[in-house]
A and B are shown apart, each in its own frame.
Chain A
């Protein structure tokens, strides 16, 4: 009997969700209702009871967006995200339940850990993109073991220059350094461009009217993977350049 009611209510949840998000419901199994252990009120999965303010048991499949009360959209106003994190943090943090029962304290602890992890995941566009792939059953590493071809040449040349720099002496040092510094500027500009591409990819996901369209989804996934993979390589490259130049300065 109770399961029937749960079904009806959770369907209305997904409808409301779709309305708020402006796109059709994401294909995932309907969330089950949970019951607040403190006041027994049944409700949608969330971190804090909307009736008594106690921490709720976290369903293992609660996603990062829901944890922060955000619609499942990739374009995120990070200022609003931080405000939501702080507001929820104030309510659920173990500091609020120092005199609570051990159950309530344990729930507040696991809820805060999940909230923080969700915030960290969504705050950074790269980790947000990677998480999005995961939600779509995709993984970056699987098809992207090699260096992206467009970057291969740059990556290898810079690695060579850095290695030369380690062995160089005299005038060659200054020359190599200036070359590497130029490379760094180029790489930083490319990274900026990629970040803009990532933001555009995010908008297309959010605007995509029907995520059931397998072909359209495949295109978006492929593009997202390519951008993220290039960003990952560029970040490593920039880190290596900075380390190389840092060592030079220290020496």
Chain B
């Protein structure tokens, strides 16, 4: 992709709200919408059935809900989902998830397609949108906002913040969103680390800082050592599905408890209740009691009082989970709460008095909250942008990888090769060899997580090493280097340790989008000719068919001698039928014939491989003689 030079901006791509900030001299500031004066952009995206996109307040305006209309009656209004357009809130919760990882309650809220695929997609009419594409719309809106606020400025290079506990897939999905929005993502920065930059803690001579970041959808705790402008993260922990949203949902479930489930999950009703719950929660930060009133047509009226004490009962299990995560982080940092010199609060949920109280109790000191908890992450992103532009050479940020990285070994055991809380960038080289004689490939399965068994960890990627020349078992030695870059994203390279040759590694991510898919999305976005889902699938099927047919024609020409008469006839008959079908529009027929042809040609392909190996061996022995 095109790389840009010039100013770098800082973006907080939050679950609930997103912001863009920049450095003005030595001072970081959030860029507000010049029309409305708002600095916060709600992370809400509406996609109309015709593909038109609204972001922020405009999207909230068309969210399905119950509203009082001009006729004095309450009506269901907004994009109701599916063919009627969709309004996606908290899209960050779905970043990097595979189709099979979508929770049942989320499936009640939105219509997903491809629930078995490597990436979850929201359905809107005949189209499907990945979480990265939807996040890209938020990024585009922020870009336009900044360009409107700073006439003449071009926003092309950005720092985007992510929860510290985001795994590789979630980070990659965030980077993809940037790419899809036409931005160069110069760096991903962890949100708590960014917040510590915003607080100007480099002025501390030396100190240990705990950053407690409780947002709308995610929770992070990071323990840092700050010394002479070096911000060194000692340990981080968190939960990427734990936030204020969960407290709102608990209130909604209580409010709607008497309704049958089918009505409770009805999108207009649920969304209206969610808005009431969020408002009530916010009000109860300042007052002791509030009232929630929900009118459901035709004649149902729900009215409940909510006290702060009652709210705290709802919040307690979630806050307890954050405190447990704090304990784990301290344990990993080998510190006691009393060793912490400063506690910083970040994220909207830290406005709740109960959160402040519990955090103060845990660390035994009053937390810092002088900066707006909604803005502090964006400000920190701008400071990091300053570091990257070379204007803050005094500062150095050393972050860590939040989750251990390992590979699957014999018996399905996860063998850790990079431990959690290792400073990044980091790299480890592991040697791989073969288990049986003449093995030509070695499969490597990369995992992320803290559990002992591979099946309990998250699959990151799989790749094949090879082809290798047939050799006795254990003889080949391939060094695979696992490098985690400063963004916390894994890169894999391999080298044949005996020949010194670089091996190409075709890493197939277990979740998320492939590079080709992103390129395709970019092309689609450029000509704005968004095909419908069926058409897209047909194109995929045709491409697959064309690829196998082209490969087959080449192999028959080059290695025709390796295929017998009957076999050749059977293959050619199938190929002829596929060629015919590929001109038509029956996607399933094309896919089936492609599969059949693939099966029929497998023995042929294996013979070609054998021949190639033999040839290579002969060539090698000739070289050795000369």
Residues of A within 8 A of B (CB): 86, 89-90, 93-96, 98-99, 109-110, 112-114, 116-117, 120
Cβ-defined contact, B425 with A89, below 8 A = no
> Shortest Cβ distance from B270 into chain A, in angstroms?
39
Nearest-CB residue, chain B, relative to A116: B423
Cβ-defined contact, B396 with A89, below 8 A = yes
* B80 at interface, CB cutoff 8 A: no
Given the contacts A89-B230, A89-B396, A94 and B486 also touching, CB distance less than 8 Å: yes
Q: Digit string of B227-252 for contact with A (CB within 8 Å is 1, else 0)? A: 11010000000000000000000000
Sample of 11 A–B contacts (CB below 8 Å): A89-B230, A89-B398, A93-B396, A94-B425, A98-B186, A98-B389, A99-B390, A109-B483, A110-B483, A116-B425, A117-B426
CB neighbours (8 Å) of B396 from chain A are 86, 89-90, 93, 95
CB neighbours (8 Å) of B439 from chain A are none
Highest count of chain A CB atoms <10 Å: which of B384, B393, B396: B396
CB neighbours (8 Å) of B187 from chain A are 95, 98
> Shortest Cβ distance from A67 into chain B, in angstroms?
13
Residues of B within 8 A of A (CB): 5, 8, 186-187, 227-228, 230, 384, 387-390, 393, 396-398, 422-427, 483, 485-486
Q: How many A-B residue pairs have CB under 8 A?
A: 56
Cβ-defined contact, B486 with A86, below 8 A = no
Cβ-defined contact, A99 with B5, below 8 A = yes
A sample of 19 more A-B contacts (CB under 8 A), given A94-B425, A95-B187, A112-B425, is A86-B227, A89-B398, A90-B230, A93-B396, A94-B485, A95-B387, A95-B396, A95-B486, A98-B187, A109-B483, A109-B485, A109-B486, A110-B483, A112-B486, A113-B426, A116-B398, A116-B424, A117-B426, A120-B422
User: Which 5 residue pairs are nearest across A and B when measured between Cβ atoms?
Assistant: A98-B388, A113-B427, A113-B425, A94-B486, A116-B423
> Shortest Cβ distance from A95 into chain B, in angstroms?
5
Cβ-defined contact, A113 with B390, below 8 A = no
Nearest-CB residue, chain A, relative to B392: A95
Nearest-CB residue, chain B, relative to A86: B230
Cβ-defined contact, A109 with B230, below 8 A = no
> Shortest Cβ distance from A18 into chain B, in angstroms?
31
Cβ-defined contact, B425 with A90, below 8 A = no
> Shortest Cβ distance from B497 into chain A, in angstroms?
10
CB neighbours (8 Å) of B388 from chain A are 95, 98-99
CB neighbours (8 Å) of A110 from chain B are 427, 483
Highest count of chain A CB atoms <10 Å: which of B186, B384, B424, B425: B425
State in angstroms the CA–CA spacing of A120 and B396 once bound together: 17
> Shortest Cβ distance from B426 into chain A, in angstroms?
5
State in angstroms the CA–CA spacing of A142 and B141 once bound together: 61
CB neighbours (8 Å) of A117 from chain B are 426-427
Nearest-CB residue, chain B, relative to A83: B228
State in angstroms the CA–CA spacing of A104 and B424 once bound together: 18
Nearest-CB residue, chain B, relative to A98: B388
CB neighbours (8 Å) of B485 from chain A are 94, 109
CB neighbours (8 Å) of A95 from chain B are 187, 384, 387-388, 396-397, 486
